[in-house]
Chain A
Amino acid sequence: MAGIITDQGPLHRAGAQSPSCSLRVQEWFTVTKHLLYIAWGFAPARTGGVYRAVATANAFVEAGWKVTVLAAPEDSYERYIGVDMSMNDAVDPRVNVVRVPFTWATQETDVREFSRARAYLGSRSYNRIRSRLDRIPFPEHNYGQWRGALEDAVEKVHAEDPVDLTIATANPNVDFQGAYHLNRKAGVPFVMDYRDGWRLDVFDGGYLFPEKSRVARLEKRYLEAAQEAWFVNDAIRVWHQKEYPFAADKMQVVMNGWDPALFGEREAATPPADGPMRFGYLGTITPKVPLESLMKGWTLAKEQGHLPADATLEVGGYLGYFATPRGDLAAVLDAARDAGVTFVGQVHKGQVRDFYARQDALVLALGEGRYVTSGKVFEYAATGKPIISVHAPTNDSSNVLREYPLWTAVPEVTPEAIATTLGETVTQLKQASAEDYAAALTFGEALRRDAQLAPRIDALATEVSA
């Protein structure tokens, strides 16, 4: 509102010097609205939420908005969490990305930059101490220290070109603070885009922070001031509606989806040709992923004859959340190597299509939790290939795939159940017809990301203009 109604900023920006009142009114309606999008992780970061961030910024630009993104520097991604440079190509060139300085001592990857304390204390002890210090400005591990730089950047952007709407995507939740800060300073409305919960543990449904904590007080304050809050699934929204009933009407579901640019022209998959059956898993492999059960289940399926002896499982993605790969997860993958499991490491955005193309079926291994919807489930559905879900049946991804024609799911995440279900997938692979594959492709069409974002963009454009 600030830019349009109270200070008439956009009118000024459009160079409105016309003596004609009608022309001024016309300009008022045609002026480009300015969106400030706050996302610590933006292209070329390789984290999962980046796909949503890039797609949202692009969608607003496409809808005629001027978009400025505040993100961490590329160098930070490279040092701390890893990069996928091909993600840069996915960003609309009209999006203006402003990098806000960020240092993350505990995730520094250049040993020369390590302090003596870190070298001698070891990473675990050093991280524990450092993390406490970092939470002083903002109650969030690792990212809290970004608050000061972010608030300065938000003010600078608004001073140079008044902002009409801010969207902050979390996590990290410090992004919300940037949007809230501008709201307090200049009255700019803002949207909180939750990809996860802040107080809600999406894996077990419990509280990460108690009701009277600093986090809870902050979240309440933010939700009171926000224009809207977006959630990736209904389960998370309902939880927040119960927790913050005063903001229930502001809460919307904006699901994830697959990005059309990732797949180009889609074609129905075909039943597998002769030769080894190829299964694939693509995604960040975190400790929440039931990797060990999957590897044991895969090995067991081979031993029990549920899977052909020459079947392969290709695993792609990062080992852990950060740039330094986790050795324990690598060891689990290593142990299953003799059973036909290969680990191919990071798969760049530009290579994702080829990765899916060479698989006969896809393995969707996810952490437990009815609040968890992986972004990957939409990509998997877009391929139109058989999907085997290796996660608890209560996981929200089951709701996305329930009507998918080529779907099998484990009843429980145990090696025995995984082995049996892999056998069912093999049967499905042998029996599925071309019609089944065509139906799977059609099903995926409804899960495009642009279909999720368009209604909210239209609604916000109307609200901001009003």
Chain B
Amino acid sequence: MTTVAILSAMELRRSSALQTYVDQFREAGADEVTIITLGPLTHWREDDPKPLVLDAGVAARRRSRRPWNKAKAERLTLRGPRWRMARLLKSNAAARRIIDDADYVYVDQPAAVLGAWKLAQKRKSTPFVTSPTRVIRLLENQ
């Protein structure tokens, strides 16, 4: 059984781009597609896999006033999404299990790269790929 894990740094958005990739991976031969997202996403379809959300409380926090300079400060410091994602991945056992079970990992969005890179250092045999086309080719060639 071939499993593809999608590791996405998206949060608080609709999920249609990921849905396209889920369909394409399945079509290319993935038996199972699992998803990890940084924050909650909307508009999931019934047959989409249930995502593991690393930071489920982000929506509540964002309801508070967030001036642009605060958001920018976050991006430029260790509180930005790259670092937050890396920290959450490190501490989330369920997420690590999903990655361990995956044959291929699709890394969606540059903000997910740092976390993925740290995981990849310990899992040299599993391809962590940032291009969906390349995942499809790997699936087709297996």
A residues sitting closer than 8 Å to B (CB atoms) are 46, 78-79, 82-83, 109-112, 114, 118-120, 122-124, 323-325, 327, 330-331, 333-334, 337, 343-346
Contact = CB atoms under 8 A, between A and B. Distances in A.
Interface stretch (B12-20, B45-53, B54-62, B66-74): B12-20
Given A78-B137, A79-B131, A334 B117 contact: no
Interface string B107-136: 111100110111010001001111111100
Contacts of B10: 327
A331 B43 CA distance: 13
Contacts of A331: 13, 17
A465 B133 CA distance: 45
A109 B117 contact: no
A120 B131 contact: no
Contacts of B120: 111-112
Please give me the 9 A-B residue pairs with the lowest Cβ-Cβ distance, nearest first: A323-B131, A111-B128, A119-B117, A330-B17, A109-B131, A82-B133, A109-B130, A324-B130, A123-B110
B117 A111 contact: yes
8 contacts: A109-B131, A111-B117, A119-B117, A120-B114, A122-B82, A324-B130, A334-B16, A345-B24
Given A112-B128, A325-B132, A83 B114 contact: no
A337 B130 contact: no
Q: How large is the interface on B (under 10, 10 to 19, 20 to 34, 35 or more residues)?
A: 20 to 34
A337 B137 contact: no
Contacts of A346: 133
B127 A112 contact: yes
Contacts of B134: 78-79, 109-110, 323
Contacts of A124: 110
A124 B111 CA distance: 11
A119 B133 contact: no
A46 B132 CA distance: 14
A346 B20 CA distance: 11
Contacts of B108: 327
Contact of A323 (B117, B128, B133): B133
Contacts of B129: 109-111
Nearest to A46: B133
A83 B138 CA distance: 12
Given A111-B120, A112-B120, A122-B110, A83 B137 contact: yes
A169 B28 CA distance: 34
Interface string B15-35: 011001000100000000000
Given A78-B134, A111-B107, A122-B82, A343 B127 contact: no
A78 B17 CA distance: 20
Given A111-B117, A334-B13, A345-B24, A83 B133 contact: yes
B127 A110 contact: yes
A47 to B, nearest CB: 13
Max chain A C-beta neighbours (<10 A), residue from B20, B24, B82: B20
B15 to A, nearest CB: 8
A88 to B, nearest CB: 13
Contacts of B114: 119-120, 122
A120 B109 CA distance: 15
Contacts of A327: 10, 17, 108-109
Given A79-B131, A323-B131, A323-B134, A114 B13 contact: no
A105 to B, nearest CB: 13
Please indicate which of the listed interface residues A111, A112, A346 has the most CB atoms of chain B within 10 Å of its own CB: A111
Contacts of A82: 131, 133
Given A82-B131, A110-B129, A346-B133, A123 B17 contact: no
A366 B108 CA distance: 27
